[in-house]
Each structure stands twice: as C-alpha cells, then as structure tokens.
Chains A and B, each alone.
Chain A
Amino acid sequence: MAQVNTVKPAQAAAPRPAARRHLSDRRIVQLFIFPTIILLILMNIFPLIYSLFLSFNEYSVISADAPRWIGIENYADILSDAQFWHNFGVTGTYALISVALQTVVGFGLAMLLRTKFTGSGVVTTLILVPMMLSPIVVATFWKLILNPSYGIFNYVFGFLTLLVPTIIGVIVVALLWGTLPKLLGEQRANIGRIALLILIPVVAHLVWRFVLSQEGTYGDFFTRVTYRETAPEWLGEPALAMWAIIIVDVWMWSPFVMLLCLAGLSAIPEYLYEAAAIDRAGGWFQFRRITLPQVMPLLLIAVLFRTIEAFKQFDLVMGLTGGGPGDVTETVSVQLYQLAFQGQFDTGKSSALAYIVLVVIIAVSNLYIRALNRAREG
C-alpha cells in the first residue's frame, strides 16, 4: 500500500510514451488512410463491382428472388433496342449543342470581364449565381418563366424579335446619315433622312419577317417562336422542348466555363501582348496566336467537365419536360431512371445501361484528354 502511494504521477505515466513508440510513422500513415480506404471500398468500389455483376443478371432490387446469371443478355437487349438509340441520339444532340453554346457564351463573358472596371467583382459574382443553384430549383422557376400564359420569357422573346430589325434599321440609318448630302444634295438630305428613319426599320422588319418565315429547320424553328397565332409552348412542343432545356442549361452553366476561362486569361503574361504590339500584330492575330492557345488547356478542362455532365443530364430534363413531349427530350439518364425505378425496378438491365453510359463517358473523356495533352504540348 505504502509502495503504491510512493509512486509519483510522472512515473505512473511512464509506460505510455513507450507504448506509443511502437507506432512507426508508416503505421500512423496507415491508420490515417485506413478509414478512408474502408469508406472508399464500401461506398465506391463495392457498389461498382457489385453493379457490374448485377448487369449480367436478371434481378430486381425489390424482389425476394436472388440474381439469376444471364450473361450479356441485358447488354444485347439494350443495344438492340431502338428506344436506347433514340435516347442516345437525344443525349448526344443535347450535349453537343449545349456544350458548344456554353463554351462560346462562357468564353465571351470571360473576355468581357477580363478587363477590370468599377463593379466588375459584383458583376462576376452575379453571373456566377446560376451555377450555385440546385438544378431542380432552376428547373422549377424556369418552368414558370417559360409558361406561355404568364411566363416572362415569351414576352421578352417577342420584344427581341421586334427589337432586332429596329436596331438593324437604326444602324443602316446611321451609316447612311453622313453620305446622304452627297447622294441627294444638301437641301434634300433632311427629307431623305426622315424617309430613312421611317422606311428602313419597316423594310428591315419585313425582311426579318420573311427570313424567319422560311421553311426548313431553322426557318421552321424561328417561325414557331415568332410570327404565329398562339404563344409558343416551349416545354410542350416537340420542335421547342429541346431548345428550352438547352437555353436553361446554357444559362446555368456558361458561368462555369467563364470562371475557368477567366483563370486562364489572367495567367497570360502581359509581355506577350506587349511584344505582339511592338510587332504591330492586330487584335485578331493576338487573340488567335496568344489568347486562344494560352487559354486552351483550361477551356478544354471546362468542356470536358461540361460534356461529362451533359451526358448524365437528368434533373433539368425531369424538372422541365419529364422527357416529353413523348420521348423527344428523353435522355439516357431519364431512361435509366425509368428502368431502375418508376414501377419497373429492373436492376439488372439498368445496371447494364449505366455501364454503357460509363463506357461512353470514358471514351469521350479520353478524346478530350488527348486533345488537352496536345494543347499543353503545343
């Protein structure tokens, strides 16, 4: 008892550092990594491998029956199904147009915001707001914006269709303004100017109307949204529904492209432009030979991310059109959702479809990465 009482606290704690000495640096590293690896295996690796296994089985997650091995039957069924190819075409068309427009708009915005001006920080932040919103929230309020009865979109669009020819007319008037005295003489010039002010917008308007009413893909599209008897139903008409989704997607994700492009633009050394200016290089030459190549790696990364996302597009489509009208906007992801849930619960076939989509995304990504590497090297 006396012996116990005589032991000092420091001595009692002595074995602890000794025990700790057994933990080598390598063991500590392993201890830190171990939980992450376990989580990765449980949350990523196992589902990935198990879903690959299920893709070769007939299986429904809500059924008590065990998976039944059927080989590549699920893959064969999907690849021989016309509906899959239709949906794949829809997804490809959507991804191509949407990503192309996002690239143009995003890059354009980045060029505009490249030069700092008063309030440019606020403007940049405001432009970034759409990509910070949840896609389903975006889809819900765009549904209201596009509503033909009370949505603001048709109003603004209709206004623009009148505004465009008027602007063209005013530009023509401005260009002719100074040359009129030479053409008509000083005394008649003012009469000519008044006539131009009245006539040219009217003529421009009529020409615009004629152009828009032409038959053909684009003529038909513009006719539908401009000179027509009823307001366009953006989400209910087969010719417009895909464009509606693209418009919303471009609005939402162009800021993302802009952000990456801005980062690329700000990294271009100023001396390159100074050297080009000394060599009397023009603006277009500088853009083509300096700006574009320097931004290209980041631009390609933006395009890669957006393409992958576009191939997986689900929430905007479900929120806006539900894949309709009919199956006009039904992307592969929407088909996958219907197959995996929505009363069907065909887990085996939906796993196979998910793997097909994965392979396509990997293939497309590979192409981009090669292009990216070339851009970096070149």
Chain B
Amino acid sequence: MLKKLLLVTLLLVMVTGVSVSAQDGAITELNIWWAEWDPANYLQQIGNDYEAATGIKVNVVQTPWGSYFDRVATEWAAQGSAFDMVVGDSQWLGQAVTEGHYVDMTSFLNDNGITETVTPATLQYYGEYPADSGSYYAYPTEGDANGWAYRRDLFEDADNMAAFEAAYGRPLAVPTTWDELRDVAEFFTRPDEGLYGIGVYTQIDYDGITMGFQNPFFAYGGNWYDEDYNTLGVVNSEGAVGALEMYRDLYSFAPPGTNNAFFAEMNDVFTNGQAAMIMNYFAFFPALANPNINPYAADTGYFSMPSGPDGERYAALGGQGISINNYVDDARKQASMDFIQWFATEEVQLRWAQLGGYTCNIAVLESPEFLEVAPYNAAFAETMTFVKDFSNIPEFGQLLEVAQRYLHAYVVGGEGTAQDALDNMAAEMDGILVEAGYVTE
C-alpha cells in the first residue's frame, strides 16, 4: 500500500511538474528557450553569472533552428508555462502580441530606463508592436543584421588596384554605394581563375533571398507597404525595380551553384576562395575570423551595407529579442523582469559582447573594448544604427512566401522583368492584406 502511495505521489509530481520550491513562491529556477547555436551557449554563461549573483538558476533550453518556431508555437497554443522567457524572432512579434502570448513590457522597460540604453532601430524592430505604437514586448538581445566580408588581399593587390583604376576610373576600395559594389563584383568575376565577385543570398526554402534583397530594396526607397498597408505602388515602385535589377546583376557575378544559397553557403564560397565578397549575417562572421575554418582569415575585412542612389542605407535585420511568457504566474513574470533588468545593465552587456553575443546596448557598441574585440565589430556597431525588418504582422508568413517565389523566379530563374515580378508580387500581397482586413478594397 505504501509503495503504491509513493508511486502515485511520484507520478503526480512528474506529471504536474510541481516542485516544492515553486509551491512556496520562491523562484529558484528560470527557463529561457532559444534556438540551438553559439549565442545560446553564451547566454547560458550569462545565466551562470546570474546564478552566482542571485542564487537563481537559469536554464537556457536550446532547440534546433528547424523546429524552434514549431516548438514555441505549440507551447503558445497550449498556453503552456514550460518557459519563462523566450528569445524570439522579430517576425513572430505580431502574432505573439495579437494572440496574447507575450507580456507587455512597456512600463517595465520605460520605468527602468532600459529603452534608452539600446539603439532605437533595434528597440523598434525587436520589441515594438504595432509599429510606432510605443508598446514594447521584447528586450533587444542578440542584435544581428546583414553585412559584408571581403578578401583584403585581393583588394590590396597592386595589379588588381591598377587594373581596376584603369577599367573604372577610380581606386579599388571598399564600396560605399550599391553601384560601386556591382563594379567591384564584376571586376573580380574571373571564371577562368575560379574566382567570382560576390556571394548573395538566393535561398528559396524559407526567407533567404528576401532577406538579401531587402538590403538594396530599402536603400533604393522600396518598402513592403506604406503606413496604410498599401503595397501597390510601394513594393513595385521605380526604386524597388532598380533594386531588383541590381540584385540580379549581383547574382550574375556569383559563383555557379549558389542558386539556393544562404548563410552556410555564403561562408563556404568565401572560405574555399570562390568569392571576393560575400553578404552574411554578422552572427556568422566569427567563423570567418577563425583561421582553422577560413584560410583567408588574416586577410578578411568586413564592411557595412553600401548606400542607395539617394544616400539611404539599410541592412536587413536578423537577431532576436527576449520576451516574457504571459502564461507563467506573476511571481515568475517578476523574476523574469528582474533577470532582464540585470541583463540589460552596461556591465553585463559588455560581458555578453565579450563572450560573443551581439549587444544592442549603445554604450557598449561605442566602447573601445567592444570595437576592438573582433575585426567585424566596428561594421556591426555601425550597422545597428540603420537596420530594417521584414513585416512582423501575423500574416508575415503569407507575404514572405509570395516574396520568395517572385524574387527567386526573377533573380535565379531569369523569368520576365523586374517590373513584372514586383507588379505581380504587389498584387498578390495586396490580396493577402485585403483579406486580412488591413486594406479595404
């Protein structure tokens, strides 16, 4: 009988997951969900520091990228409390907020002055929903965006410099405009030598080609919709058409076989010496600075996005913000806020950056310690001031599918004209937004 009683009690504890410590109200553990990658390991180290300082254990639970959103979304649907905090993609924000999965952190972030510590663009795209509402649901945690890596040895080669100047009438240098970038890409495209000018995102499976295209798209004055959610005349504006033609031009200088390429393939064509320049998220640049991975590590330089025809610069946003699960009890919400408040301090953010995390803290981004700790940090700090994101409304998945299909068909498949591709894209996106009720017919 006693054995049965013990067994039943044990089962009850296992099924309900109720711990003695939670019952008496004292929080001894916090669970953070994130994708499985290096920054999550760095966050675990930060969590270990927090445990040393407060006695509260922090578990960073990692899930492979491929199933990360599915797992979080399943927990949302069940209104579960398996995690206290989640480091989520900026694109999830609309859905998570409208369906009530995230805690409104506006007062907490404002009252503690945390909103002033991070760059405005990161706060806007990682934390704010709806746009320009001043309501925040996440603290910008892992800042990330697209930047460029280039082969300094090729750029500084005397023969190359002379040949480039003779051909283009200006010195060979890091490009500052998209037109210059195109010229440099063309110059280094030498199939006979197995060298190509540039590597750009073309992945069709999820969001790769759209993320890559956004860089010239925003810089040329394009946008996914205006303040009234109109896509017609916005997605297919004259500037947007120019940007798409530019992107296709760039793809023509890319190594063969990069027709479905994303971050891994970009680093591959760079480290195997096929590309003189590549676009990639800053999160993947540490591999290029590692001589064990990149034989050109010592000769690899980094630069931020060039500007468009009117001098505008934008970089497609990656990265994530940390949010609090709305389905945990008030004590756990408060404990999560305490952790975020501690994590947002300049001292911890500097430690975060030193570990390898990409901070969004203004003071740390400007500090010499940060700028000098890695060769790509200066370009990253600059980039964090002009990032811009894809739509984060709940219908982003439908909009993304349309963008991916038309961009890939034109850039990789060479089908039709840029104008046709964007006209069709704008029309289909308009249909989605009309059906969702953002736009009236």
Report which A residues bind B (CB closer than 8 A).
Answer: 61-65, 147-151, 230-231, 233, 235-238, 318, 321-328, 330, 338, 341-345
Q: Contact check, B260 vs A236: say whether CB atoms are below 8 A apart.
A: yes
User: In the complex, what distance in Å separates the CA atom of A326 from the CA atom of B410?
Assistant: 7
| Smallest Cβ-Cβ distance to A344: which chain B residue | B397
A236 contact from B91, B205, B412, Cβ within 8 A: B412
Tell me which residues across on chain A come within 8 A of B221, comparing CB atoms: none
User: In the complex, what distance in Å separates the CA atom of A230 from the CA atom of B257?
Assistant: 12
Shortest CB distance B339–A (Å)? 26
Q: Contact check, A149 vs B257: say whether CB atoms are below 8 A apart.
A: yes
Tell me which residues across on chain A come within 8 A of B76, comparing CB atoms: 62, 64
User: In the complex, what distance in Å separates the CA atom of A221 from the CA atom of B299?
Assistant: 42
B73 interface residue (CB < 8 Å to A): yes
Shortest CB distance B276–A (Å)? 15
Q: Contact check, B204 vs A236: say whether CB atoms are below 8 A apart.
A: no
| Smallest Cβ-Cβ distance to B203: which chain A residue | A322
Tell me which residues across on chain A come within 8 A of B405, comparing CB atoms: 326-327, 330
Tell me which residues across on chain A come within 8 A of B406, comparing CB atoms: 326
B260 contact from A151, A321, A344, Cβ within 8 A: A321
Tell me which residues across on chain B come within 8 A of A321, comparing CB atoms: 204, 260
User: In the complex, what distance in Å separates the CA atom of A342 from the CA atom of B204?
Assistant: 12
B81 interface residue (CB < 8 Å to A): no
Shortest CB distance B101–A (Å)? 8
Q: Which 10 pairs from chain A and chain B are nearest by CB?
A: A326-B409, A343-B397, A236-B259, A325-B413, A62-B73, A148-B256, A344-B397, A324-B204, A322-B205, A147-B257
Q: Contact check, A325 vs B205: say whether CB atoms are below 8 A apart.
A: no
Q: Contact check, A324 vs B259: say whether CB atoms are below 8 A apart.
A: yes
Q: Contact check, A324 vs B256: say whether CB atoms are below 8 A apart.
A: no
Q: Contact check, A64 vs B79: say whether CB atoms are below 8 A apart.
A: yes
Kindly supply a per-residue 1/0 record for chain B positions 235-259, scoring 1 wherever the CB is within 8 Å of any chain A CB and 0 otherwise.
Answer: 0000000000000000000011101
Given A61-B73, A324-B204, 14 other A-B residues pairs in contact with their CB atoms under 8 A = A61-B74, A62-B76, A148-B257, A231-B256, A236-B257, A236-B260, A236-B413, A238-B414, A324-B409, A324-B413, A325-B259, A327-B405, A342-B206, A343-B401
Tell me which residues across on chain B come within 8 A of A231, comparing CB atoms: 256
Q: Contact check, A324 vs B408: say whether CB atoms are below 8 A apart.
A: yes
A64 contact from B77, B255, B408, B413, Cβ within 8 A: B77
B369 interface residue (CB < 8 Å to A): no
| Smallest Cβ-Cβ distance to B67: which chain A residue | A341
| Smallest Cβ-Cβ distance to B79: which chain A residue | A64
Shortest CB distance A336–B (Å)? 12
Shortest CB distance A350–B (Å)? 12
Shortest CB distance A175–B (Å)? 41
| Smallest Cβ-Cβ distance to B75: which chain A residue | A62
Among A231, A237, A325, A345, the most chain B Cβ lie within 10 Å of the Cβ of A325
Shortest CB distance B108–A (Å)? 24
Shortest CB distance B285–A (Å)? 23
Q: Contact check, A149 vs B100: say whether CB atoms are below 8 A apart.
A: no
B50 interface residue (CB < 8 Å to A): no
Tell me which residues across on chain B come within 8 A of A65, comparing CB atoms: 99
B55 interface residue (CB < 8 Å to A): no
CB-contacts of B192-216 with A (<8 A): 194, 203-206
Q: Contact check, A61 vs B259: say whether CB atoms are below 8 A apart.
A: no
User: In the complex, what distance in Å separates the CA atom of A236 from the CA atom of B254?
Assistant: 12
Shortest CB distance B420–A (Å)? 12
B77 contact from A63, A151, A328, A342, Cβ within 8 A: A63
Q: Contact check, B73 vs A345: say whether CB atoms are below 8 A apart.
A: yes
Tell me which residues across on chain B come within 8 A of A233, comparing CB atoms: 256-257, 259
B412 contact from A148, A325, A341, Cβ within 8 A: A325
Q: Contact check, B70 vs A341: say whether CB atoms are below 8 A apart.
A: yes
Among A64, A318, A322, the most chain B Cβ lie within 10 Å of the Cβ of A322
Tell me which residues across on chain B come within 8 A of A237, comparing CB atoms: 413-414
Shortest CB distance A148–B (Å)? 4
Q: Contact check, A325 vs B70: say whether CB atoms are below 8 A apart.
A: no
Residue pairs across A and B with Cβ atoms less than 8 A apart, 17 shown, are A61-B77, A62-B76, A62-B77, A65-B99, A148-B257, A149-B257, A230-B191, A236-B259, A236-B260, A324-B408, A325-B412, A326-B410, A326-B413, A330-B405, A342-B206, A342-B400, A343-B396
Shortest CB distance A228–B (Å)? 12
User: In the complex, what distance in Å separates the CA atom of A233 from the CA atom of B259?
Assistant: 8
Q: Contact check, A322 vs B397: say whether CB atoms are below 8 A apart.
A: no
Q: Contact check, A324 vs B260: say whether CB atoms are below 8 A apart.
A: yes
User: In the complex, what distance in Å separates the CA atom of A175 from the CA atom of B413?
Assistant: 46
Tell me which residues across on chain B come within 8 A of A341, comparing CB atoms: 70
User: In the complex, what distance in Å separates the CA atom of A325 from the CA atom of B99?
Assistant: 35
Q: Contact check, B260 vs A235: say whether CB atoms are below 8 A apart.
A: yes
| Smallest Cβ-Cβ distance to B95: which chain A residue | A62
User: In the complex, what distance in Å separates the CA atom of A237 from the CA atom of B203?
Assistant: 14
User: In the complex, what distance in Å separates the CA atom of A338 from the CA atom of B95?
Assistant: 18
Kindly supply a per-residue 1/0 record for chain B positions 398-437, scoring 1 wherever the CB is within 8 Å of any chain A CB and 0 otherwise.
Answer: 1011000110111011110000000000000000000000
Tell me which residues across on chain A come within 8 A of B274, comparing CB atoms: 149
Tell me which residues across on chain A come within 8 A of B398, comparing CB atoms: 343-344
Kindly supply a per-residue 1/0 record for chain B positions 50-89, scoring 1 wherever the CB is within 8 Å of any chain A CB and 0 otherwise.
Answer: 0000000000000000000110011011010000000000
Shortest CB distance B95–A (Å)? 8
Shortest CB distance B324–A (Å)? 17
Tell me which residues across on chain B come within 8 A of A151, comparing CB atoms: 257
